[in-house]
Amino acid sequence: MKFNTSPRINAAAFTLIASAFLVLVYNTTFWRTFIDATGQLSLAHLPLHVGSFILIVLLFNGFLTLINFRYVLKPVLIVLFMATAATSYFMNQYGTQIDRAMIQNLVETDVREARELLNLKLILTVGLLGVLPSLAVWRVKITYPAWRRDLGIKFGIIAVSALVIAALLFAFFKTLAPTLREHRELRFLLTPTNYIQAVHSYVRQKESEAVVVAPLGTDAVRSLAKAGNRHRSVTVIVVGETARAMNFSLNGYARATNPELARQPGLINFSNVQSCGTATAVSLPCVFSALGRENYTDNKARAQQGLLDVLAHAGFDVLWRDNNSGCKGTCDRVRYEDMSQPVAGDRFCVGDECYDERLLERLPEIIHNAPGDLVVVLHQKGSHGPAYWKRYPAAFKRFGPVCETNELEKCSREAIVAAYDNTIVYTDHFLNQTIELLKKSAASDDINTAMLYFSDHGESLGENNMYLHGAPYIISPVEQRSVPMMLWLSDGFASRFHIDRRCLAARAGQAFSHDNVFHSVLGMLSVSTAVYNPRLDILSPCTKDE
Ligand SMILES: [Zn+2]
Indicate whether 377 belongs to any domain: yes
pLDDT grade, residue 212 (50/70/90)?
A: confident
**Same domain? 184 vs 297:** no
Relative orientation angle of helices 193-209 and 73-94, to the nearest 10 degrees: 90
Separation of 242 CA from ligand 1 center, angstroms?
Answer: 5
Read off the CATH number of the domain in which 341 is found: 3.40.720.10
**Same domain? 204 vs 239:** no
Indicate whether 3 belongs to any domain: no
Beta-sheet strand order (sheet of 335-338): 335-338, 317-322, 374-379, 233-240, 448-455, 482-489, 268-274, 512-513
- For residue 114, the model assigns a pLDDT of 63
Separation of 383 CA from ligand 1 center, angstroms?
Answer: 9
Residue type for 187, please? R
Which residues are 143's β-sheet partners? 10
pLDDT grade, residue 545 (50/70/90)?
A: low
Total of domains in the chain? 2
Average pLDDT of the segment spanning 35-58: 91
pLDDT grade, residue 226 (50/70/90)?
A: very low
**Same domain? 401 vs 323:** yes
pLDDT grade, residue 136 (50/70/90)?
A: very high
Separation of 496 CA from ligand 1 center, angstroms?
Answer: 34
Q: Which of 174, 209, 244 is a domain's end point?
A: 209
- DSSP letter, residue 325: S
- DSSP letter, residue 251: G
Q: Is the pTM of this model over 0.85?
A: no
Separation of 224 CA from ligand 1 center, angstroms?
Answer: 35
Separation of 467 CA from ligand 1 center, angstroms?
Answer: 14
Name the pairing type of β-strands 335-338 and 317-322. Answer: parallel
CA distance 356 to 348: 8
DSSP, residue by residue, 380-429: --TT-SS-GGGSS-GGG--S-S---SS-GGGS-HHHHHHHHHHHHHHHHH
- For residue 1, the model assigns a pLDDT of 43
Indicate whether 47 belongs to any domain: yes
Alpha-carbon separation of residue 102 from 112, 115, 119, 135, 433 (angstroms): 17, 17, 19, 29, 44
Indicate whether 1 belongs to any domain: no
Indicate whether 201 belongs to any domain: yes
**Same domain? 235 vs 137:** no
Indicate whether 495 belongs to any domain: yes
- For residue 21, the model assigns a pLDDT of 96
- For residue 224, the model assigns a pLDDT of 60
pLDDT above 90 as % of the chain: 75
Residue 2 in this model has a pLDDT that exceeds 50:
no
Average pLDDT of the segment spanning 178-193: 89
Q: Which of 112-116, 117-121, 256-260, 410-414 shows the lowest per-residue confidence on average (mean pLDDT)?
A: 112-116
Which residues are 335's β-sheet partners? 319
Indicate whether 139 belongs to any domain: yes
**Same domain? 125 vs 267:** no
**Same domain? 279 vs 184:** no
Residue 18 in this model has a pLDDT that exceeds 50:
yes
| 331 or 544: which leads in pLDDT | 331
**Same domain? 201 vs 284:** no
- DSSP letter, residue 24: H
pLDDT above 70 as % of the chain: 96
Average pLDDT of the segment spanning 319-343: 94
Residue type for 514, please? H
Separation of 241 CA from ligand 1 center, angstroms?
Answer: 5
Separation of 486 CA from ligand 1 center, angstroms?
Answer: 18
Separation of 406 CA from ligand 1 center, angstroms?
Answer: 17
Phi, psi of 320 (to 5 degrees): -110, 120
Separation of 319 CA from ligand 1 center, angstroms?
Answer: 20
Which residues are 485's β-sheet partners? 270, 454
Of 259, 273, 255, the residue nearest 420 (C-alpha):
255
Residue 426 in this model has a pLDDT that exceeds 60:
yes
Q: Which of 162, 179, 209 is a domain's end point?
A: 209
Residue 190 in this model has a pLDDT that exceeds 70:
yes
pLDDT single digits (tens) 462-475: 998 888 888 889 88
Residue 78 belongs to domain spanning? 8-209
- For residue 466, the model assigns a pLDDT of 87
**Same domain? 162 vs 261:** no
**Same domain? 75 vs 201:** yes
pLDDT single digits (tens) 374-391: 999 999 999 998 899 999
Separation of 230 CA from ligand 1 center, angstroms?
Answer: 38
pLDDT grade, residue 257 (50/70/90)?
A: very high
Average pLDDT of the segment spanning 419-430: 98
Indicate whether 295 belongs to any domain: yes
Separation of 479 CA from ligand 1 center, angstroms?
Answer: 13
- For residue 170, the model assigns a pLDDT of 92
pLDDT single digits (tens) 489-498: 999 999 989 9
Residue 500 in this model has a pLDDT that exceeds 90:
yes
**Same domain? 199 vs 246:** no
**Same domain? 301 vs 403:** yes
Q: Which of 209, 234, 258 is a domain's end point?
A: 209
pLDDT single digits (tens) 80-122: 999 999 999 888 877 778 888 778 777 776 665 666 667 788 8
pLDDT single digits (tens) 59-81: 999 999 999 999 999 999 999 99
CA atoms within 13 A on the CB side of 320: 24
Neighbours of ion ligand 1 (CB under 5 A): 241, 280, 456
Separation of 1 CA from ligand 1 center, angstroms?
Answer: 63
**Same domain? 185 vs 273:** no
- For residue 407, the model assigns a pLDDT of 79
pLDDT grade, residue 406 (50/70/90)?
A: confident
Separation of 73 CA from ligand 1 center, angstroms?
Answer: 39
CB neighbours (10 Å) of residue 338? 14
Average pLDDT taken over every residue of the chain: 91
